[in-house]
Chain A
Amino acid sequence: MSESVDIGCEPVIAARQLTRRYGGTLALDGVELTLGRGVTGLLGPNGAGKTTLLSILATVAAPDAGRLSVLGQDPADAGQRVEIRRRLGYLPQDLGFHRHFTVAAFLDYVAILKEITDPRRRHAEVARVLAQLDLAERAGQRIRTLSGGLRRRLGLAQALLGQPELLVLDEPVAGLDVEQRLRFRELISGLPGDPVVVLATHHADDVAAICSSVVVLLDGRVRFSGTPAELAGLAAGRVWRAAERQAGAELSWRTGDGQWRHIGHEPPPGAAVVPPTAEDGYLLLSGGAR
């Protein structure tokens, strides 16, 4: 594990000693990070600093200390910050909506805020993201009538407007049903132009499914940065399968076939080692399997 890991050969985001406090709480504690192209998953428990880090990457919050480069621009500079924003799509964790807007009107308004000035291009872009998020039939529907999952998709739609080079998505699949989560994976995997995607999630399986790299943030510090396979590798030899529950196991649960899956440092009697997943690695790393 390293707190400063280069991922990819062409760094798009480079953070050095990023620090951010909220009163007496240290939300980010000298974060070192270098991200290249591809999809990066940001894992961490609640309060680990994921949302703070993403809001800084999205230029809506500033670090108290440290340096940051996004898409080769310095967000501390007003002009360069605007340049980043022109190439950015952002989905905050807690996204409100103008409840009385229709879906299409909201996206059209956001498109203006994203400087898509040509009406024809704007309308085409709105139509594109509506189709991409399967919202075309709800274009004329008022947002207040949408379910939570549909609103989340609308949030994703606004982030995708303008085909941004950098997508910062905070909990993009929260509230989505299984089918929509899978569609989200499909969507992210099929984005044109090879954009940089940074997404925070609690779903390690999503990270394993679509991310080329994963960063684990714990207590405001980067505790792991690597590929999902490397994250899973952290649990290699420490995940077992057995017929009985073993009281000494650090974490165990019964799976659908009646067998018990154990994660820990000591194998239970009669257990067989099974291949670990990224989730297993994350659980071990975050202390969930202590």
Chain B
Amino acid sequence: MALLLGRAEAARLAASPLVVLSFAVAAALIWWNNRTPLPLWWSADITIGTALLVPAGVVLLACQEAAGRPRRDGLAPLYDSYPVSAAVRTGGLLLGVLGPVALAAGVAAGAVIWLNSRGAIGGPQPAVLAGAILLVALAGAAGVALGTWAPRLAAGLLTVLGLGAIELDLVLTYDGWVRPHAGTGWLFPWYQPGSVPGALAGISLPFPWVAHAAELAALTGLAVAAALWPGVQRRGPQRRGPQRPGIQRLAITRPGIRRPGIQQRGAAGRGAVGVLAAACVAAAGWTGWSQTRPVPAAEVSTLVAQTVHPARFEQCETRGGVRYCFFPAFRPLVGTWAAPVSAILARLPAPPRRPLVVRQVTGNRYQLLADPQFGLVNPAPDPRAEAVLRAFDDQTDGQGPPPTTKFSPSDPPVIDSSLEENPGGSLDTGGLAVTTAYWAVGLPTTAPDITFSNSSVSGTYAVSCEPVGQAREAIALWLAASARPGPAFRGELTFSPAGADAEAVQVSGRWIRANYLSGSGPSVIPPATAEGLALALAMLRLPAAQVTAALAARWPAWLSPAATDPQLAAALGIPMPRTPAPTRLMIREARDPGGPSSPVCP
């Protein structure tokens, strides 16, 4: 009977325009949060749960409305005259929650299919998706419980508004209205820990999603018990009749009434519900406690090792003579990386003398610091996350590779996967193309650390060199641009050297005009000099065969630091483009104006 009622209630809930609309909103939110060209599963799955908060709130309201319906509509006496008991009716309402839960599962499944079809990196965490669906189950059960105890619609509205305000703070992570203590964030229905998992390439911080899903399940069970309690507690027909103002109900014995059956069955029902409630309280308490515990040291060590020693965790495969090493989740992207790399190598007049290895790295420390949950923005940082950061610092101290002390042209290109998803949402393979081209012409792709101090600044700086006047810079830029034709990268190269995007860079004590190109991170690409950029643009306007022939004629010579831009222009038969000097404003607004000067690339 409860199943039959459950089916009817499920159909009613699932067909409710508000419920359907809320799931449509959730689907739209999932699309909005994952519309970037490169969806990452370790953040996408969390956004699915966050989006399902909307239908969860509506389902809570709808279930509260349904459970409170008989009392609110004055039908309780009539319902009591039916053979189906109050407990069974409540059971039906609870089973009816499966309707919205099925919708939630459908939305989640649809999101999984959609994101996978778009080549999302990694895979969804089952515990996160389970938690997302449990959100709706918990909301429905809580709504039934609330409606059973407090049938007025205002009770549901106030509950949703209160929880919603807290959830907004927990999801948006910035200083909000309610400000729950950051350390207790995991105890609320949903917690979106900033952008950390999305920014960490393939490496998820050990967030307690399994414990959280278990907590949600336990809370759902507790709500079920709370909903069933009034039904099993009733011992029979109520002393209900015409209500008259001023008449108080008194407890009166019923000497002539025998009801042993009621007592026995009621006791069994109360016992079962009591056991369920006790078990759920214990489970919710334990899982809640476990979510506030520090991250185990072993898990932090793994995180550190993934960052400091990526090779231990990466897979490698060779394509076109180039070895690509990547975190396993990124295998689908190898083809994307190989396209510009192979195109650049194919345009070289002579093959490189060294084998090329493209390695993926990640910058966890940077991302940890940049994330608001980790203390820089949020006024009440998550102590659990702070502990991870401290442990991360302690463990990474001295574990990394020794700092670079000289310019090395032999460093292979790397892909900083923490920047794979740039703010604009486009893939940053342009950085890989430029780095590969720099490597191919023998330009350094790393920046050594130098210690510097003067009257205004002091410290250790990573300083890249500048190939001022060197023909190989223009060749590298031409290789990168012609090997990776596309609006994004051409957009970088079509910056006018005299335009507003130019900056002033200090090289060996004098200021030159330069443009920062896409791609940075561990593979430091120096800003392109205005002269090199202008010459590369002129080369792009020539037929590719003409440029290739000119380069092939004196290839080893062009790779020399001594080969100049004017020489290259002359070899191509074009005049050397003129570029203006940096303005005073540029110099005043230059990065690290008092910092160390860049050397000319050796």
* Contact between chains at B82 and A98 (CB < 8 Å): no
Residue from A55, A78, A108 within 8 A of B241 (CB atoms): A55
Contact with B along A39-77 (1 / 0, CB 8 A): 000000001000110011011111111110000001111
A117 within 8 Å of B (CB atoms):
yes
Q: Does A286 contact B (CB under 8 A)?
A: no
* Residue A82 is within 8 A (CB to CB) of chain B in the complex: yes
Interface: A9 (CB within 8 A): no
Q: How far is the CA of A158 from the CA of B82 in the complex (A)?
A: 11
> Does A85 interact with chain B (Cβ within 8 Å)?
yes
CB atoms of B254 and A113 under 8 A apart: no
A77 and B84 within 8 A (CB): no
Question: Which of A23-31, A128-136, A205-213 contacts its partner?
Answer: A23-31
A90 touches B (CB below 8 Å)? yes
Contact string against B for A residues 14-38, beta-carbon threshold 8 Å, 1 for contact and 0 otherwise: 0001001111110100000000000
The answer to whether B81 touches A78 (Cβ under 8 A) is no
Is A95's CB within 8 Å of the partner chain B? yes
Measured between beta carbons, the chain B residues less than 8 angstroms from A27 are: 241-242
Query: Could you mark each residue 86-124 of chain B with 1 if its beta carbon is under 8 Å from any beta carbon of chain A, else 0?
Result: 000100000000000000000000000000000000000
Could you tell me if A78 and B254 are in contact, using CB atoms closer than 8 angstroms?
Answer: no
With A23-B247, A76-B259, A92-B78 known as contacts, the answer to whether A64 contacts B237 (CB < 8 A) is no
Are A114's CB and B83's CB within 8 A? yes
Residues of A with C-beta under 8 A to B299: none
Contact A60 B81 (CB under 8 A): yes
Docked-complex contact A88 and B236, CB < 8 angstroms: no
Contact assessment for A115 and B241 in the assembled complex, using a CB-CB cutoff below 8 Å: no
- Measured CB to CB, the nearest residue on chain A to B238 is A61
CB-contact partner of A96 in B75, B244, B258, under 8 A? B75
A110 contacts B82, CB within 8 Å? Answer: yes
Measured in the bound complex, the distance between the Cα atoms of B395 and A165 in whole Å is 81
- Chain A nearest CB from B244 CB (Å) reads 7
Could you say which residues of chain B place their CB within 8 Å of the CB of A58? 81
Contact of B237 among A22, A51, A59, A88 (CB under 8 A): A59
Are A85's CB and B241's CB within 8 A? Answer: no
Task: Decide yes or no whether A109 CB sits under 8 A from chain B.
Answer: yes
- Shortest B235–chain A CB gap in Å is 9
Contact call B77/A60, Cβ cutoff below 8 A: yes
Select the residue from A22, A63, A75, A94 with max chain B CB neighbours within 10 A: A22
Whole-angstrom distance between the alpha carbons of A52 and B243 in the complex?
11
Contact with A along B1-22 (1 / 0, CB 8 A): 1001100100000000000000
The reply to whether B239 and A64 form a contact with Cβ atoms under 8 Å apart is yes
Q: Interface size for chain B: under 10, 10 to 19, 20 to 34, or 35 or more residues?
A: 35 or more
Chain B residues whose CB sits within 8 angstroms of the CB of A245 once the complex forms: none
Say whether B254 contacts A63, CB under 8 Å: yes
Residues of A within 8 A of B85 (CB): 82
Q: CB distance B255 to A65 under 8 Å?
A: yes
Judge whether A274 is part of the interface by a CB distance below 8 angstroms. Answer: no
Complex CA distance for A226 and B32, rounded to whole angstroms: 76
> Cβ of A112 < 8 Å from any Cβ of B?
yes
Given the known inter-chain contacts A65-B256, A117-B4, please indicate yes or no for A97 contacting B75, CB distance below 8 A: yes
Report whether B4 and A51 are in contact in the complex, using a CB–CB cutoff of 8 Å.
no
A85 close to B8 (CB less than 8 A): no
Number of A residues with CB within 8 Å of any CB on chain B: 51
Q: Known contacts A51-B242, A78-B236, A110-B82; is A17 also within 8 Å of B74 by CB?
A: no
CB of B258, distance to nearest CB on chain A (Å):
6
When A64-B239, A85-B82 are in contact, do A112 and B4 touch as well, CB less than 8 Å? yes
- Name which residue of chain B comes closest to A168, CB basis: B81
- Does A254 interact with chain B (Cβ within 8 Å)? no
Q: Which residues between 116 and 172 of chain B lie within 8 Å of chain A, taking CB atoms? A: none
Interface membership of A79, Cβ < 8 A: yes
Contact flags B562-588 to A (C-beta < 8 A → 1, else 0): 000000000000000000000000000
Q: Is B250 an interface residue (CB 8 A)?
A: yes
Whether the Cβ atoms of B241 and A76 lie closer than 8 Å is: no
- A92-B81 Cα distance, complex, nearest whole Å: 10
Q: Does A99 contact B (CB under 8 A)?
A: yes
Contact: A77 with B8, CB < 8 Å?
A: no
Q: Contact between B252 and A64 (Cβ–Cβ < 8 Å)?
A: yes
- Shortest CB distance A134–B (Å): 21
Kindly list chain B residues whose C-beta atoms are within 8 Å of the C-beta of A60: 77-78, 80-81, 237-238, 240
**A51-B242, A78-B261 as given contacts; A113 in contact with B247, CB under 8 Å:** no
22 A-B Cβ contacts within 8 A? Answer: A20-B239, A27-B241, A51-B241, A60-B78, A60-B240, A61-B77, A61-B241, A63-B256, A63-B257, A65-B254, A66-B256, A77-B261, A78-B259, A85-B83, A92-B77, A96-B73, A97-B73, A98-B73, A112-B4, A113-B84, A114-B82, A115-B1
Residues of B near any A CB (own CB < 8 A): 1, 4-5, 8, 69, 73-75, 77-85, 89, 236-242, 244, 247-250, 252-262, 265
CB-based closest 5 A-B pairs? A96-B74, A23-B247, A90-B81, A113-B82, A96-B73
Given contacts A78-B261, A85-B83, A108-B8, 10 further A-B contacts (CB under 8 A): A20-B239, A23-B248, A60-B81, A62-B254, A65-B254, A77-B260, A78-B265, A88-B81, A97-B75, A98-B75
